[in-house]
Each structure stands twice: as C-alpha cells, then as structure tokens.
A and B are shown apart, each in its own frame.
Chain A
C-alpha cells in the first residue's frame, strides 16, 4: 500500500467519482465541486500567464506594439455585460468571434470535408490489376453516393431516392458500428489504466 499522501488523495477522488455509478451522493458532490473549482482556478492561472501576460503585457511593454491595444479594448467590451446600461457593447467582441469563427471554419470545411473527400473518392485505383482493390473502390464509390443522397433534403425519401437513401443509412450504421467498437476499446484501456493505478500504485496488490 502506498505511503504517498498524493496517491491516496488521487485514489480517494477516483473512487469518489466512481461512486456516481451507484447514485448521486455527497462524496461525488465533493469530488465534482473540487474538480470544477480546481479546473477554473487552473484555467485562470493559465489565462493570466498565456493570455494576459504573453499576449497583452509583453507585446506592449517589451515590443512596444501599441496597435494591440485596439483588440484588447474590443475584448474588454466583454466585461460590459456586467452593466445593464452598456451591456450592448459586449455584442461587438461577440460579433468578431462569430465572424472570425465562421470565416476560419468555412474554407477549412470546404477543403477538408468536400474537396479532399471528393478527390480521394475518385483517386481510388480503379483498375490496378487487383480485383480486391476494384471491389473496394466500388463499395466506397456507391457508399459516398448513397450517403450523400441520404443528406439530400430537397426530395422526399420515396421511390428510388428512398431506396438509395436507405442504403446510405446502412453504410452510415456500419461505419458507426466500427467506430463504436474502436472507441469502446479505447475507453476500456482508460479504465484499465485507472484500475492499474488503484491496484498497483495505491494498494500495491498487483506488481
């Protein structure tokens, strides 16, 4: 059994969180509030050093980059939310964030989710002499078309369109099944890691 106080704290907090599996209880509540409180404290410290100091103080004080005062001021408008009279000012930084977010995300989505997928679908080795590659290519090609038709909203899923959309759902579910199995395996390995911590590091039952 460990004699390290920190291992004891970590082990007891692990058990406190696991106690939720039985039902909500005071021990879980303590662990939950502790986790939320610590995480907020940690993020305040990180924000202070990585944002306030590194991105606000250093550029002005050391690099004399006074232009940065403009975005800082815009960011400061977020605090206007605390005032009923000047609360509308907070909409300015929010508009910037949403506009910036959409501006960054849309071209990226076009590139990664559309252009790259289309390219990789048609770049499959159709007739490389290997019959299995050809079968693979046909399965992928039909899958892409059928799944796309499922997400086509302008036509009701009836007749031929309905049948192809149904095939698309089959493709989607098979992909989800594979993904489900893979992720469950990853989660089990996380649990094994925790169990190992409790049984080896804390209790010393396994070596």
Chain B
C-alpha cells in the first residue's frame, strides 16, 4: 500500500513537472552576431522566448573551450545583450537558460561568431554627406576668392578690438598674455585659438612687444611655439622670437590656474587674451586679469564659461565668432571663404528647420528619421 502511494505521488509530480517544462523550454532561439558599425570589440546576442520563467542566464565560451562561463543574469523582459568584452577575431558561442526558483532549463546555444571591425560606420552616412556638401561649398568659395571675388564679412567687435589691445600693450611697454584655453589639440576651440595666435603674434612681432603664452597641454605648447615662430619669421623679426616665453606650465587644471594667476599679478600684462576652451578656471583667470587692470579679450565656445567672460572681460568672442576669428583677422580671401561656407551651411539649417516645421504640422516624422544618426 505504501509503495502504491509513493508511485502515485511520483506520477503526480512527474506530470506537474512535465507540464512545466514545455513552458520553460517554450520556443527559445538564440542568435549571436558581430555588432554592426563598431571597432570589432563587441558581439550582439539576441534571443526569443515565449514561455514562462523568472530570469535568463546568459553563458559564453570560446569554440575551443569546453566550459561555459556565466556572463549575466537578465530579466525575462530582456531579449538582447551586447557583449563588449570580446577579443577581435576569436570565435565565441553563446548559450541561454531559463531559470525559475526550482528549475533551470537546458541551454539553447548559438552558432559560433567572432567580432570584426567595420571599415565604414553606415549609421554616420548622413554626417559624411553633410561634410562632403560643406567641403563642396568651401571649394567653390575658395575658387571664387582666387578669381578675385570680394567676400563681405560683417564687423565682429571683439576681433576688431585685438588691434587696439596689441597697440595698448606696445604703448605701455608691457607684455601680452595669450592663454590658449586648457583643452587639447583635438578641440576645435583650441585649433581656433591657435589660428588667432598666428595673426596676433605677427602684429606683436611688428610692434616689438613681448608675448607670453603659458600652456596647459604639452602638445598645444609645441604647436603655439611653432605658430609664434612662424609669425615672427613672416613679420621679418625672427631675432625677437624667444621660445622660453611660450612654455608648458602643468597639465593640472587648478595648478595651471594658480600659476597663470601668479603670472598676471607679477608680470602685469597690458593685454590678456583668453581664447580657447575653458572650464571652471575661467572666472579665476578672468577676475584676476580684471583686477590687474589689463584689457581682456576672451573667446570660447564653452557655453557654461561665456557668462563669466562676459561679466569680467572687456570683449567677448562667442562661439562661432571664435571659429571665424582666424580667417577674419588674417583677411586672406581663401580663409574668408570658410566663413562664407559656414554661412551657407546656416542657410541650409534654416531651410531644414522650415521644412521640419511644415512636416511637423503635417504630422510627418520623415525628416526626423533622416536626421537620426545611429
């Protein structure tokens, strides 16, 4: 009798267990593939599962391995995972199991896959088209400028004041302090600052004024040194060039700020030019410069720092004015054509905004979808 009951219990629980399994094993499929448009550092795993359970357990192994490594426990709502801890070229297999409190399903395994780097990120095709379009306009204007077409550029007050600022330093017999921001050469604001340094240094060389350029980045220091040297050569005064006056201070933000503040109060420059990218040290520098009575011209595209420059400097060059500055100061037609090309870019932006407005009123997302860079 006792055995009879035991057999009945066994049959009952086996039945319950078997009822559960079809749900857990539900139709699970898994697919692993090289993540598109990346540098070959990740594999994307996607899976489908229609049954019940609590969590997914994701496993990984290389093809040559026999042991599976648990990667992650994921909620049942998740259906994909990007494994960014892969070695390029190594073949991996992924497996997934569905887990409840008591049951762990059998593993569903993907086909072997390896991560590969893509030469071209197709998600950024729009950016490529825009850049090519911009360069086409630029080349057109360079050609027009070479043929002698005059290119009108409106006055930019902060840049016109640069002449006055250099002249003032010459009259007072005091140096000019040029601070090229605290960012690296990969920052457009730094490149723009270096572009301004060229014509400024040329004028400084013509007037025979002293120019001090303390740098926070060693590469920027080398670049500024080269630019100043070239400008002194162009001005026909290479004898006045002193490489010790364009130097690397330190790459620590506030140590640099402390050192430059010290230079401001000890050297008492007549003119301070703060051009480039700035962070929290902007107000420290601009306020100290202001307290020394120097004429200050600041220029940056750091939106958070511009208010500080506006309040504590005599002239402020804002955002794109800084990008245009190098061309504006040099007055070279070929460089001015870059400003023209930028303006045509702005006309294209107006047109896109108006088209977006019209399509928005028509409840169409067509343009938004085109502008979505993946």
Q: Using CB atoms and an 8 Å cutoff, list the residues of chain A in contact with chain B.
A: 17, 20, 23-24, 28-29, 31-32, 35-36, 38-40, 42-43, 78, 81, 90-91, 94, 97-98, 100-102, 104-107, 109-111, 114-116, 118-119, 121-124, 126-127, 141, 144-145, 148, 151-157, 172, 175-177, 179-180, 183, 187
Identify the closest chain A residue to B254 (Cβ).
A35
Contact of B308 among A29, A148, A183 (CB under 8 A): A183
For residue B63, which residues in chain A have a CB less than 8 angstroms away from its CB? none
Interchain CA distance A144-B357 in the complex, whole Å: 13
Contact of A105 among B187, B225, B252, B340 (CB under 8 A): B187
Is the C-beta of B184 less than 8 angstroms from some C-beta in chain A? yes
A151 touches B320 (CB 8 A): yes
A-B CB contact pairs (8 Å), 25 listed: A23-B265, A32-B261, A39-B252, A39-B255, A40-B252, A43-B250, A98-B185, A100-B186, A101-B186, A101-B191, A102-B188, A111-B124, A114-B349, A118-B352, A122-B353, A122-B356, A122-B359, A122-B371, A144-B353, A145-B353, A153-B324, A154-B154, A154-B340, A156-B155, A187-B280
For residue B304, which residues in chain A have a CB less than 8 angstroms away from its CB? 179, 183
Interchain CA distance A172-B316 in the complex, whole Å: 13
Interchain CA distance A33-B5 in the complex, whole Å: 89
Chain B nearest Cβ from A49, distance in angstroms:
15
Interchain CA distance A102-B368 in the complex, whole Å: 27
Identify the closest chain A residue to B187 (Cβ).
A105
A94 touches B372 (CB 8 A): no
For residue A23, which residues in chain B have a CB less than 8 angstroms away from its CB? 265
Number of residue pairs spanning A and B whose beta carbons lie under 8 angstroms apart: 167
Chain B nearest Cβ from A174, distance in angstroms:
11
Interchain CA distance A1-B64 in the complex, whole Å: 63
Interchain CA distance A127-B251 in the complex, whole Å: 50
> Which B residues between 152 and 175 are near A, CB-CB below 8 angstroms?
152-156
Contact of A43 among B131, B251, B265, B353 (CB under 8 A): B251
Is the C-beta of B367 less than 8 angstroms from some C-beta in chain A? yes
A24-B265, A152-B346 as given contacts; A183 in contact with B307, CB under 8 Å: yes
For residue A124, which residues in chain B have a CB less than 8 angstroms away from its CB? 360
Interchain CA distance A91-B222 in the complex, whole Å: 9
A39-B250, A141-B357 as given contacts; A153 in contact with B339, CB under 8 Å: yes
B307 touches A177 (CB 8 A): yes
With most chain B CB atoms within 10 A of its CB, the pick from A42, A109, A119, A155 is: A119
Identify the closest chain B residue to A24 (Cβ).
B265
For residue B320, which residues in chain A have a CB less than 8 angstroms away from its CB? 151
Is the C-beta of B259 less than 8 angstroms from some C-beta in chain A? yes
For residue A127, which residues in chain B have a CB less than 8 angstroms away from its CB? 361
> Residues of B within 8 Å of A, CB-based: how many?
70
A110-B130, A177-B307, A179-B304 as given contacts; A81 in contact with B255, CB under 8 Å: no
For residue A183, which residues in chain B have a CB less than 8 angstroms away from its CB? 304, 307-308
Interchain CA distance A152-B124 in the complex, whole Å: 27
The 5 A-B residue pairs with the shortest CB-CB distance in the complex, in nearest-first order: A122-B356, A39-B252, A101-B186, A180-B307, A39-B255
With most chain A CB atoms within 10 A of its CB, the pick from B254, B367, B371 is: B371
A115 touches B346 (CB 8 A): no
Contact of B250 among A36, A97, A157 (CB under 8 A): A36
Chain A nearest Cβ from B243, distance in angstroms:
9
For residue B303, which residues in chain A have a CB less than 8 angstroms away from its CB? 175-176, 179
Is the C-beta of B127 less than 8 angstroms from some C-beta in chain A? yes
A105 touches B188 (CB 8 A): yes
Interchain CA distance A77-B367 in the complex, whole Å: 48
Is the C-beta of B311 less than 8 angstroms from some C-beta in chain A? yes
Interchain CA distance A182-B290 in the complex, whole Å: 22
Given contacts A97-B185, A104-B186, A121-B356, 17 further A-B contacts (CB under 8 A): A35-B254, A35-B255, A36-B258, A36-B259, A90-B222, A94-B219, A94-B226, A97-B186, A98-B223, A111-B124, A111-B373, A114-B345, A118-B353, A122-B367, A126-B361, A155-B154, A176-B310
B124 touches A118 (CB 8 A): no
Is the C-beta of B147 less than 8 angstroms from some C-beta in chain A? no
For residue B340, which residues in chain A have a CB less than 8 angstroms away from its CB? 154
Identify the closest chain A residue to B359 (Cβ).
A122
Contact of A98 among B191, B319, B353, B371 (CB under 8 A): B191
For residue A29, which residues in chain B have a CB less than 8 angstroms away from its CB? 262
Is the C-beta of B12 less than 8 angstroms from some C-beta in chain A? no
> Which B residues between 245 and 304 are near A, CB-CB below 8 angstroms?
249-252, 254-256, 258-259, 261-262, 265-266, 280, 283, 303-304
A94-B222, A104-B186, A122-B357 as given contacts; A154 in contact with B343, CB under 8 Å: yes
Chain A nearest Cβ from B325, distance in angstroms:
11
B130 touches A24 (CB 8 A): no
